[in-house]
């Protein structure tokens, strides 16, 4: 895979819509960001939220990237949604070379606690049972794959459980970390290329994401302007959010000016747009009001 394609998948999935997602979370769950009973100030909590979201999205990116790799290697990706015994399941990776069907339960790292690892094992076995009923035992090759091989917390547990599943369903099942999976399907070069691409990408991204939306107000406005107006009303109706959080992400009010003008001239005749416009004007853009209340 070309680096540019690899990079674009990461940047698009991880960084696009970060601002709109944050605004919606603040509006819906303001108490997660403010209040005395927290060891962090609002800015630190905002940054923590963005970083946690990026971690989750990174795992989603690797699913997409590996799926693209399977296509480039000549495999045929199969539908990843299935229903078994009236329950719906999402498969991380499912593809075929017309001889075997490959099922991969893919996670970034093996760092689960005891409860979660048992849930993961039960989930894996259920999917194996469902896929064996569809594709047949002899054609099915199943993997539990942890990408980051620097985390090997529950290897003994998973290995024992996979051996049981292997014998119970008479299939090929294997536990893999890092490069082991790509060695198992005879494409070790994919792992080497992935490592090189990730190293290059990490050198290009900032150490910390910015929480200042006014650094690029036009881009920020374009991302948040289509958030549901009911959500934005809830945001600007909250006094604590307006005092403690919004000045952090809109320190110069540049994005808010664009947003206020957009609501004022909105094509909808719903009064809620003018209501939110007036809220923004009064709280952030009216200098006389601002001076009187500071």
Quick one: tokens of 293?
A: 């209340």
Q: How confident is the model at residue 289 (pLDDT cuts 50, 70, 90)?
A: very low
Question: Residues 120, 161: one domain?
Answer: yes
The whole-number average pLDDT for the span 22-31 is: 94
What is the C-alpha separation between 161 and 123, in angstroms, rounded? 12
CATH number of the domain encompassing residue 162? 3.40.1560
Question: Residues 9, 85: one domain?
Answer: no
Question: Residues 147, 179: one domain?
Answer: yes
Question: Is 267 contained in some domain?
Answer: yes
Question: Is 31 contained in some domain?
Answer: yes
> What is the β-pairing status of strands 87-90 and 93-96?
unpaired
Residue with the bigger pLDDT between 221 and 285: it is: 221
What is the C-alpha separation between 230 and 220, in angstroms, rounded? 19
The whole-number average pLDDT for the span 86-106 is: 93
- Least confident stretch, 32-41, 144-153, 223-232, 247-256: 32-41
Question: Is 287 contained in some domain?
Answer: yes
Q: Which residue among 186, 220, 237 closes a domain?
A: 186
Question: Residues 93, 25: one domain?
Answer: no
Q: Is the pLDDT of residue 290 over 70?
A: no
Question: Is 202 contained in some domain?
Answer: no
Question: Residues 90, 176: one domain?
Answer: yes
The whole-number average pLDDT for the span 10-32 is: 93
Question: Residues 175, 239: one domain?
Answer: no
Question: Residues 178, 79: one domain?
Answer: yes
The whole-number average pLDDT for the span 220-235 is: 96
- Least confident stretch, 40-49, 184-193, 195-204, 242-251: 40-49
Q: Is the pLDDT of residue 294 over 60?
A: no
Quick one: tokens of 210?
A: 């910015």
pLDDT for the residue 242: 95
Q: Is the pLDDT of residue 35 over 80?
A: no
Q: How confident is the model at residue 287 (pLDDT cuts 50, 70, 90)?
A: low
Question: Is 198 contained in some domain?
Answer: no
Q: How confident is the model at residue 262 (pLDDT cuts 50, 70, 90)?
A: very high
Q: How many residues does the chain have?
A: 294
Q: How confident is the model at residue 207 (pLDDT cuts 50, 70, 90)?
A: confident
User: pLDDT > 70: what percent of the chain?
Assistant: 97
Number of domains the chain contains:
2
Question: Residues 240, 280: one domain?
Answer: yes
Quick one: tokens of 118?
A: 């048992």
Question: Residues 101, 52: one domain?
Answer: no
Question: Residues 113, 54: one domain?
Answer: no
Question: Residues 158, 117: one domain?
Answer: yes
Q: Is the pLDDT of residue 283 over 60?
A: yes
Question: Is 14 contained in some domain?
Answer: yes
pLDDT for the residue 208: 87
Q: Which residue among 153, 186, 219 closes a domain?
A: 186
Q: How confident is the model at residue 264 (pLDDT cuts 50, 70, 90)?
A: very high
Q: Is the pLDDT of residue 292 over 60?
A: no
Q: Is the pLDDT of residue 293 over 50?
A: no
What is the C-alpha separation between 242 and 292, in angstroms, rounded? 16
pLDDT for the residue 270: 79
- Measured between alpha carbons, how far is residue 189 from residues 63, 176, 182, 234 in Å? 18, 16, 8, 51
Q: Which domain holds residue 85?
A: 74-186
User: pLDDT > 90: what percent of the chain?
Assistant: 75
The whole-number average pLDDT for the span 233-237 is: 96
The whole-number average pLDDT for the span 39-62 is: 92
- Average per-residue pLDDT for the chain: 91
Question: Is 203 contained in some domain?
Answer: no
Question: Residues 127, 46: one domain?
Answer: no
Q: Is the pLDDT of residue 183 over 90?
A: yes
Question: Is 196 contained in some domain?
Answer: no
The whole-number average pLDDT for the span 41-63 is: 93
């Amino acid at each position: 895979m070309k680096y540019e394609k690899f990079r674009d998948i990461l940047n698009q999935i991880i960084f696009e819509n970060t601002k709109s997602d944050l605004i919606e979370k603040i509006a819906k769950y303001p108490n997660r960001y403010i209040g005395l009973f927290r060891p962090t100030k609002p800015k630190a909590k905002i940054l923590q939220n963005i970083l946690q979201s990026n971690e989750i999205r990174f795992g989603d990116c690797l699913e997409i990237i590996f799926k693209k790799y399977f296509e480039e290697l000549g495999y045929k990706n199969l539908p990843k949604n299935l229903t078994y015994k009236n329950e719906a399941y999402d498969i991380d990776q499912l593809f075929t070379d017309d001889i075997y069907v490959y099922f991969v339960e893919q996670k970034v790292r093996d760092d689960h606690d005891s409860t979660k690892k048992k849930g993961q094992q039960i989930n894996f076995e259920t999917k194996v049972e469902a896929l064996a009923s569809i594709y047949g035992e002899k054609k099915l090759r199943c993997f539990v794959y942890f990408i980051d091989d620097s985390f090997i917390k529950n290897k003994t547990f998973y290995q024992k459980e996979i051996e049981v599943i292997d014998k119970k369903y008479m299939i090929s099942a294997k536990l893999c970390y890092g490069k082991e999976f790509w060695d198992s399907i005879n494409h070790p070069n994919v792992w080497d290329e992935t490592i090189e691409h990730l190293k290059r990408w990490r050198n290009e991204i900032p150490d910390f994401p910015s929480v200042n939306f006014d650094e690029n107000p036009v881009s920020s406005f374009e991302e948040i302007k289509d958030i549901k107006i009911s959500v934005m009303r809830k945001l600007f109706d909250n006094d604590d959010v307006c005092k403690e959080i919004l000045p952090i992400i809109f320190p110069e009010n540049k994005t808010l000016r664009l947003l206020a003008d957009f609501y004022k001239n909105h094509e909808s005749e719903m009064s809620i747009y003018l209501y939110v416009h007036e809220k923004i004007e009064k709280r952030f853009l009216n200098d006389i009001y601002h001076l009187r209340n500071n």
